[in-house]
Each structure stands twice: as structure tokens, then as C-alpha cells.
Amino acid sequence: MANVLYLPTDPPAAVAVELEISHGLQTDPSVQPVDVIVATISTPHDPQSPQTGIRTVTERGVPFDRLIVHLPTSVNGTQDSSVAREIVWIALYWHFQYTDRQQSIPKGKPVPRKGVQLVLESASPSVSAAAIADLEQFGLVEIAPQVGGTVPLVFSTSFWQTTPESYLSRHLNAHRYFPNKPLRYTLSNGAIRHPKRPLPPLPSVPFYTRHCISGKVNSVFRLRPVDINDLDLIHKWMNNPRVAEFWGEQGPIEHQQQFLKNCLLSQHSFAAIGSWNDLDADGNLTAWRDACFFDIYWVKEDHLARYTNNVQDWDRGVHLLVGEDWARGRSKAWLDCIVHYMFLADSRTESIYLEPRVDNEL
């Protein structure tokens, strides 16, 4: 069975995934049979290096699965730590995207700490040990004690906090998430004290991409800033009766023109367009189609702050609409993406606010 995985880059970089699944394989008579997933992931082509494959083996287990990643013989020293880092990150990206999907969690129950035991295999044990130490310093791996020694673990909650450009090769053009700026306070409206905010992403340049896979969706989602060229699109969406009922921004195009100008001039928010690119039967991207509008804001300067307690300096919120009827029913996928972006954009963000109406069906 063949799959295609799209990495979070601009443009999305495709890697092929070949799978072999063995059910109930008993590798040791003293333990319970386990399911084994063998995956060969093609590495993105770098003009300066030969193309190779990433071979991984996932062994289902309790309390953690084991993810065995085979480092190629070309990775043979500390100078190749960036190569090992990319191989492991891509393998984990595939693992958490495809084989570790969360089941529905009952209300009131804590989110389980889904994790995997990472095993690196190479021709030299010292290379594997050095790679694990490097990944621990990057914050991707946790070294946990166990009987007779230690074991490296990677948790999905930690992995999704990593930024792609820290691990992927420069030629892939991974989306950049800049370091947090030094803290400096300012005042808005002469009364609201808050940190000086960074500028929004560059106009027209996509700033977030993610391959979304679920029972209904096999598509790449992308976010880009709104600009004045989106006026016709915003005019169309705001005059959709379903959208107008909740946003109240319907009317002639001059009304949406002023709405867009206000969005672009805002000092505490910026607007973005969410687009989908569905995969065909062969795993190829088809075409980008704009579908959603997002207004991403800092809560402390927003009117919402008056109605909630203990708003932190870096808390963010989002107003949103799904403009295209064909894109409805994908709310979990794009909600995961927009929340993921807001947490990646500034590591000091602790909470995300949404204000949905109870009768709004996305």
C-alpha cells in the first residue's frame, strides 16, 4: 500500500510512504504478540546529496509503541547531526500523522499523553547515542528512567510544539517561526498595558501548511495573510446568508472594502485565508481552493478581555467563518491547524479563545 506524505513547507514537499503491516507478530515468546508497521519513507531530494529512504519499524506496545528508525550508513559522525535530525523528525511526523491518531475523548477526560519509545539503529552505536543526545538538547526527546537504564521517549504533545525549520533542510523552505522578541510593554487606547506585538506574517506569503488526514479529509491545509486583492472573495462570503447571519457584514462591496481596510490597519490582530488542496487517488495535489476566513487577535487588547478573567499577556483568540459550502464538515481539521499555528507562533501563548455561537454549525 502506498501513501504520500506532504511536509509543512512552501510549497508542500511530497514524500512517498510504502507500508507493510503485520498483525499479531510475536517477536519474543515471553511477551504478547504485537502489530508491526514497516514504513519506507522517501527523503525529499536535495540537489547536494543523494536521495535515500528512511526505514522505520513501529511495534505496537504498552505503555508505549516502539518506533525504530534506521539511520543510513552515510550518517557517521557529529557533522551529520542535522541529517539525523531531519530523518528522525520526518519519521515522527509520519508516525504522529498516520499511526497515532487520537480517538474521540469523552468529555471531562484528560487528553492522554500519547508517546513513542524512539530507537535509532545505525552501523555505529556511538552515532545513535550522539543523535539521541542531540535530539534531547533540541527538546524533542525525553530521557526517562527504567529498570536497568534509561529510554528515550517522544510525546505527541511535545512533537507538535517543534517548528519544522529547526529540523528540515534549508532547500525545503520550511515555514519559519521566529524566536520570541524581548519583552517590552506599551499602552493601547491609553489604558491597556500589553507587550509590544510582533508584525503579522508577510503579505500574500503562506505561513502555515499541514497535511490533514481523517475519515473525511485527505488534504493539505494552508494559511496566508489577507490582502486587498481578496476583496471579491470576502464580498462573496459575507453575502452568503449563512455567514451574514453570524457576522453581519453583508452589503455592497464598498462595505467589505472598509471591513478589509480595518482588518489590515488593526494593531492587535491580522486576518488570514485558509485554503485546501485535496489529494487525488494517486496522492497528487490538485489545486488550492480558498475556503475559510480567520481573524487572529491578541486577547488582552480585544473587547473579549472585558468578559473573561486572568487574561495572560500572550493569549490569543480567533474569529472565523467557512465561506465555501463544500468546505463545511472539516472543522476539526482546520481548527487543529489554526490552534497549532497560534501556539507555534509564540511559545509564551498559554490559552486560545474562541467565541462560537451555540447554533453555529461549521
- Over residues 97-119, the pLDDT tens digits come to 876 554 555 566 665 667 899 99
Q: How far is CA 112 from CA 104, 269, 301, 336, in A?
A: 11, 33, 34, 16
Percent of the chain with pLDDT over 70: 86
pLDDT band at 27 (very low <50, low <70, confident <90, very high): low
Q: The whole model's pTM is what?
A: 0.88
Query: Which one from 20, 254, 350, 355 is the annotated catalytic residue?
Result: 355
Predicted confidence at residue 181, as pLDDT, reads 86
Q: Is the pLDDT of residue 274 over 80?
A: yes
Average pLDDT over residues 209-221: 89
pLDDT digits (tens, 9 = 90+) for 168-209: 988 889 998 888 889 999 998 778 999 999 999 988 899 999
Q: Is the pLDDT of residue 25 over 60?
A: no
pLDDT digits (tens, 9 = 90+) for 275-318: 999 999 889 999 999 999 999 999 999 988 888 888 999 999 99
Predicted confidence at residue 306, as pLDDT, reads 86
Are 193 and 205 within 8 A, CB to CB?
Answer: no
Predicted confidence at residue 52, as pLDDT, reads 63
Q: Is the pLDDT of residue 88 over 60?
A: yes
Q: Is the pLDDT of residue 150 over 70?
A: yes
Predicted confidence at residue 339, as pLDDT, reads 96
CA distance 24 to 36: 8
Cis check: omega of the bond before 33, within 30 degrees of 0: no
Predicted confidence at residue 8, as pLDDT, reads 94
Q: Is the pLDDT of residue 46 over 70?
A: no
Calculate ∠ Cα 110-345-289, nearest 5°.
Answer: 95
Q: Is the pLDDT of residue 37 over 60?
A: yes
Average pLDDT over residues 220-246: 96
Q: Comparing C-alpha atoms, which of 16, 15, 17, 35 is closest to residue 25?
A: 35
Clarify whether 355 is annotated catalytic: yes
Domains of the chain with bracketed CATH: 2-170 (no CATH), 181-353 (3.40.630.30)
Predicted confidence at residue 1, as pLDDT, reads 31
